[in-house]
Structure 1
């Protein structure tokens, strides 16, 4: 799907008007065709108060009820036809990036030629979108409409949001214009940065590489020692960006796997061993999920939790609970979550008197656990006490707090004293 061409901007113009798009045939599945178009829609759908209004807005957009769309920094505006003869003036507002945000973003793009190529090919790399929060999160879009409907959003604002997703599908520079800069500004800035970088590279002196002359190699004598191996890099390399293509693997999953492979290869070079080779598939899935934001923050992290849970035969809730245990105590914390055991006499038997002496709630023992109404302590094989919390009258225990060698210290951390 190709978006209508905007009018040609003046050199200092940050305004683009796209002609009304033709109706699109009714189709099942997602309205947008790109991951960033769907992320745009998710920011509205996740905070909508009425699913019925969203459905009517989606139908309005599909039937061509949205007139020409004008995009300026921080605003998207269009007239939307409804049930009355006169269309409604509808707009969606969002925050623009600061000058510092733009400096960070443009520097990152200039450092990655593949990012520049992707943008020119009308593609939005995941890493670039997440760098300066280009895509709006839930609640970032502020709809406004001249209609009398006070829904959030009304069906006209929802229609404009769905139609805007089609523009974003065709050209990610529309999103960059919303955030404050026009395409000609961005490309001009990147051209200047690239020229400066090329000039600096031409004047830099390459370090001399150790060599061995052909005459000395062929001479009838003992050969000189080989040059020393190249030094190990100080950090893993960055994988390339993977394009979104029909039938191809998920680009976010490929990026995650490539990044993990680079990190493990670097660790093998530095340490002489793979630090995660001994983990089971489930433990490794928990480790991967724990290294990323929680499942409710972004669409990509929610998809990561969903896919990892499905691949290991668990639910996203199981994975989220295991991630909390991993962040609490790593592999030992995960073991405490999943494997009750019978500790020997000693520290466990002394825990209840120590808690009573500290005037803390009484806890009933079972195997390596001491349980109260809303809090629980679990003794790990490492000798640390791990805190857990649950709602009253529910057996839904979640890891909380920092492990402590002192059971009273672990409880005090849970109670926030």
Structure 2
């Protein structure tokens, strides 16, 4: 139950809520999605859900642009929590009213305490986002948190229950109370029925010709310097939500992929702003198998790593070796691990000469050919592989398999030194 005038409604504290979900309507769930997508710390969300379930949220006051409640911690301490949502201006409400009057079903749905998707879609077509998206909910709390805290999260979870019951709560947050909104809709409907229409709007400006705008570019001030590169990638949104994932969707795998994307974006940005970057060669696109090995190189042990192994078609032990190769030199190292290639006669002769000249007698190790472009040191468990780019890659015999043993070097003696030392 709510009390108050048309510009503010106060809802009595709701009883503790059992079960899993706070929202049952699609618009209530969208409200919670905006909350959960915005949160930087999933732990704060969990605490907020617990507060809301335990009935720690007091009476909720809803006003244009703001919702407020006192939320009590388990020790009885109360904190005033506010969540701000941007109001629509007069021009935006004019567009909303015109859109609603055009389709009488919209008004009927609101009176039935419903918010059909087509209403939200028509509003979006008019440039109005009724439901909040990521970053639209701005928290404030007397606990001093600069971001979402358990108190503001609990308030949002409680408001989702109110929205389920009455979508006019959302419209009040956007700036129009129920009575005023219905009065304006009725007045506009009657005016349209009688043939009275507002004055024609002034024609829009014709704008500036493209060639004129381009010609003026030389007199415009320079763009500001780009902001500094963050020290580390941003945190992807948490997928620890009230909504069960669809069948076949693994939230843990999605969070891993999102974090990987953030890391790659951070690296690409760092490279892009490095002086001389424009003169660097463009990296080739990875194959599907190469990208799976790359992902496995940063995947935590467990289900995700097992799925990546299955996707590559490799046995787990072989994938572990492929990951070691990737970490030692990326795609080039993985190619040396996976492929046997036969150098051209001239390349083979040049490689043989390099091997003979790399060590002085009597320190030169005895090498024998162990495959195309591969030389092993008998009795040492060490091997050199020649890459297509002319670099030498060290390998070591482990459990009967040749395993990558380090980065490449243009000098075969330097590449092999570490392996021989450990033999």
Q: TM-score range by the shorter chain?
A: 0.3 to 0.5
Task: Please report the TM-score for the alignment, with normalisation by the length of structure 2.
Answer: 0.46
Which structure has the larger Rg over C-alpha atoms?
Answer: 2
TM-score relative to the length of structure 1: 0.46
